[in-house]
Amino acid sequence: MKSFFTALTFATAALAAGRTSAPEGCAVVKKSPASGQFGTIQKAVDAGKPCVFVDQGTYTEQVLVPASAEGLVIYGYTADTAGYAGNKVTITGKKSQADGLGNDQTATLRVKAKNFRLYNVNVANTYGKGSQAVALSAYADSGYYGCQFTGYQDTVLSEKGSQLYAGCMIQGATDFIFGQNAMSWFEKTDIRVVAASKGYVTANGRKTTSDKSYYVFNNCDIAAASGQTVAEGAYYLGRPWGVAAQVAFQKTTMSGVINSAGWVVWNKGDERTASVSFGEFQNTGKGSLGTRAKFSKKLDAALKPEAILGGGYTSAGYFDASYIVWEDVWHVDYRLTDELLVKCAFDGCNDRYTCRLFKLHESVALFEPDQLQQQLWIQRIDGAYAYAQFIKYLRPSGFAPAGFSPEQRRLAGMIHRQLASMGGMRHLDSGLDGDTGLMWVTVNAADRTAEVAVPLIESAIIRSKRRRTCDCCAGEFFPVDVEERTLDDAVFHNLLPWGDWITKLWPFPTPADLPRCAVFHDLNVCHECIKRYIASRIEDLGMACCDDILCPSPGCHHILTYNEVMSLADGKTADRYEQLFVQRCLSGNPDFRWCLNPGCGSGQIVDTTRCHSSNAHSAVFAFQSNLFRCYACGFEMCYRHQKAWRAGGSAFCDECTSAQQQDEATEAFLNDHTKQCPRCMVKIIKGRNGCFHMTCSQCRHEFCWLCLADWSKIETWRRDRGQYNVLAHNQGCYFRRTDAHPREVRGDSEADVRHQERRDPWWRRV
């Protein structure tokens, strides 16, 4: 399955993708806007487009995304979409509560729209120390990917809805991630603190235990901001703004800036700790050590995103799987390979052990299990160890000199996680069974200007038990066990990338590939057969293929559309089809001429302006202006008569010279015996021995010689007399008034038809 957009010539690439131009359909914001572009982000948001692309630069303005802009996406210019390091766009402001404003009103970016997404944009409030000054105020379900949010006090107001921050950076000093009602997940986000005598990362304002508000930081990193000197122990993970505050940090690296107590009361005499839920799980670094505050706790297991964002979060409009790095082989921290956790094999036991411990205990029956339990124990050990070794195998130094690129890992993780959520692949959090070989597939890069080779773990793919057989090659296939419409929706909403990789997992077209055909019959011709069929039709028909490639399913008369052919053909065939499609469109221009040089295949539109002067030179100019010189090969021909230009002499073509000498009778003969192809306008001389069904040798267009009607409407694809449509001839055509079939009459005029009809009276109507 390919993009519906025009296919381009792809080159293999394995670099992290940038975003330097606007995606299709986006409003464009530039510091120096051209016609149709915008000079401010707010004007672009108000324009009502589905997406906005912001060109590189710093934009000093306050941006409001209103509730009416549901589903809006804002993209920033970036050198690398995978994170925030390559960002080139900054929105900045300096409003604060010192101006008499509320928290939300001070925000540089105010989000009220549901399912809003922001990519690779830096948002700053530069007010500094002394008052609350918000960079981002989020009041709706929303996602933030590869963004930076910087301020001092109250940098990010995460207030309402489900919110996802992935691959971001958030910087501040006092309560700089705060809010009351939001369910927020921070994934692989860098938390950066600035110089301060005392600081607090979070201030959750949950008021009651029935409120779902929760802030969870997963796989994050806490450290001093670049260029900032921060004393050890100066910062706390959070304090309770609300009496039932809920915050958790898990699998997060904490530098020494975090105080050994971890958490602190709201204020002395106003502790607010009676109903708080402050938890930690498997954090690392100096800041994770020490005796924690008594009102905090150590979690028994890591929190899952579905527990915070809801079970259907992966299908939510704000969710982008390509930025999410749950625990899988594509994003594991290779330094911690031996710390990979595996659940105990014993029934009812929820303990999790590292691979290292499993290997140490491999021959030790710690719980004196029976024989069956011992076998399960050993199997779990072996599976965990194999999984750990597989991860080591995927390390860049262990695979190839250059290793997997960040873009390869991002796309592999995106596909794996999304298919796992759809039931098409197994999650890899408890070891692999059997072969851990890789299947290489081709995926379109984020900007669709290149293809990336991406590895998938073949043994993790869950295939359907229902066998499907191709109607053409009789091949038997077991597609991935995911409904076709679910797949289509995931690709359409960019939860899965475009690319030929889909045909390896789903060998048959989906309804998105052939929407009209899917209504009337099953799509049981495999992708490979369709590719060969389309390539064969294009080779056989040339330009005529643009209107004559039928659906390959037996009995289906649907002619494939341009988008359908481009979606189903392979890259080289799609390029050839697009070339022929453009040529056919050009051929409809009466001023377009094909080069007659054999093997050139080029053509161009000719300026047909003629001199209308009454001077004596006008006749000579009229003939000389017929000269057509091909830009591609330099071949010279006569525009008017479409014949080779005669070298030397008067520099006319032979027909130009003879035309000056011909009398009216000769001109009449040429007019009576030549016609222009209705499609490409090439002149055709018909022999008297042929029938009245004509096929242009240039563009392969088929038509009736008498009335020039399109033959595809006169006779169906089966080409038998029973499907001959006499009314498809143009008005005035003799074939509308006779039983004679154009294929069964010889000649080149209506008189020839009448003559043969008189000779064979059985043709006459009863």
CATH number at residue 297: 2.160.20.10
Residues 631, 539 within the same domain? no
CA–chain centroid gap for 223, Å, is 35
570 and 612 inside one domain = no
% of the chain at pLDDT higher than 90: 36
pLDDT value for 505: 79
Can you read off the two tokens belonging to residue 270? 């106003």
For residues 394 and 280, membership in a common domain is answered with no
691, 697, 661: which is closest to 679 by C-alpha?
697
- Tell me the mean pLDDT in the region 435-455: 69
Instruction: Tell me if 210 is assigned to some domain.
Output: yes
Domains of the chain: total = 5
Alpha-carbon distance of 2 to 568, in angstroms, equals: 7
For residue 329, name the pLDDT band (cuts at 50, 70, 90).
very low
Rank 214-223, 301-310, 336-345, 608-617 by mean pLDDT and report only the highest. Answer: 214-223
131-135, 383-387, 510-514, range with the lowest pLDDT: 383-387
Range of the structural domain that residue 250 is part of: 65-70+93-311
Provide mean pLDDT across the span 230-239. 97
The answer to whether residues 689 and 601 belong to one domain is no
Quick check: is 45 in a domain? Answer: no
Question: Measured at the alpha carbon of residue 399, what is the angle toward residues 393 and 402, in degrees to the nearest 5?
Answer: 140
The whole-number average pLDDT for the span 7-13 is 21
- Residue 254 is assigned to a structural domain of this protein: yes
Tell me what the pLDDT averaged over the chain comes to. Answer: 78
Residue 2: pLDDT band with limits 50, 70, 90: very low
Examine the pLDDT at 629 and tell me if it is beyond 50: yes
pLDDT of 467 over the 70 cut: yes
Would you state the pLDDT for residue 377?
A: 57
What's the pLDDT score for residue 265?
A: 97
Q: Are residues 239 and 188 in the same domain?
A: yes
Residue 172 has pLDDT above 90, yes or no: yes
Residue 356 and residue 375 share a domain? yes
Check residue 382 and give its pLDDT.
58
pLDDT digits (tens, 9 = 90+) for 90-104: 999 999 999 999 999
551 found inside a domain: yes
- Listed range (20-29, 110-119, 652-661) with the worst mean pLDDT: 652-661
Are 449 and 534 found together in one domain?
no
Residue 412 placed within a domain: yes
Q: Residue-wise over 118-142: b if at least 16 C-beta within 10 A, else e?
A: bbbbbbbbebeeebbbbbbbbbbbb
292 DSSP 8-state letter:
-
Catalytic annotation present for 175: yes
pLDDT score of 585 = 74
Has residue 354 got a pLDDT over 90?
Answer: no
608 plus 698 within the same structural domain? no
- Per-residue pLDDT, 17: 62
In terms of domains, do 602 and 575 share one?
Answer: no
Strands (E), 388-537: 438-444, 451-457, 468-469, 476-477
pLDDT above 70 (res 141): yes
Among 165-169, 297-301, 466-470, the minimum mean pLDDT is found in 466-470
Question: Residue 495 above 50 pLDDT?
Answer: yes
Count of Cβ atoms closer than 10 Å to residue 727 Cβ: 8
- Output the DSSP codes for 149-186: EE-SBS-EEE-SSEEEEES-EEEESEEEEEESS-EEEE
**In-domain check, residue 327:** no
Average pLDDT over residues 528-550: 84
Q: Distance between CA 524 and CA 508 in Å, rounded?
A: 7
Amino acid at position 598, single letter: P
Say if residue 144's pLDDT is above 90: yes
Q: Tell me the C-alpha to C-alpha distance, in Å, between residue 531 and each of 396, 572, 728.
A: 35, 10, 33
Q: pLDDT by residue (tens digit) across 21-35?
A: 998 899 999 999 999
518 assigned to some structural domain: no
- Examine the pLDDT at 14 and tell me if it is beyond 70: no
Residues 302 and 338 in one domain: no
Single residue among 311, 342, 360 that ends a domain in this structure: 311
Q: Of 564, 586, 608, at which residue does a domain stop?
A: 586
Percentage, residues of the chain above pLDDT 70: 72
- Give the side-chain half-sphere CA count within 13 A for 458: 9
Residue 319: pLDDT above 70? yes
253 and 354 share a domain?
no
* Domain boundary residue, one of 661, 696, 722: 661
Q: What is the DSSP letter of 115?
A: T
The answer on pLDDT for 81 being more than 50 is: yes
**pLDDT of 4 above 70:** no
* Gap between the Cα atoms of 44 and 29, Å rounded: 7
**Lowest-pLDDT range of 160-174, 472-486, 584-598, 636-650:** 636-650
Q: Are 18 and 86 in contact (CB under 8 A)?
A: yes
One of 141, 175, 190, 328 is an active-site residue; which one? 175
251-269, pLDDT tens digit by residue? 899 999 999 999 999 999 9
Domain match, 232 and 379 both? no
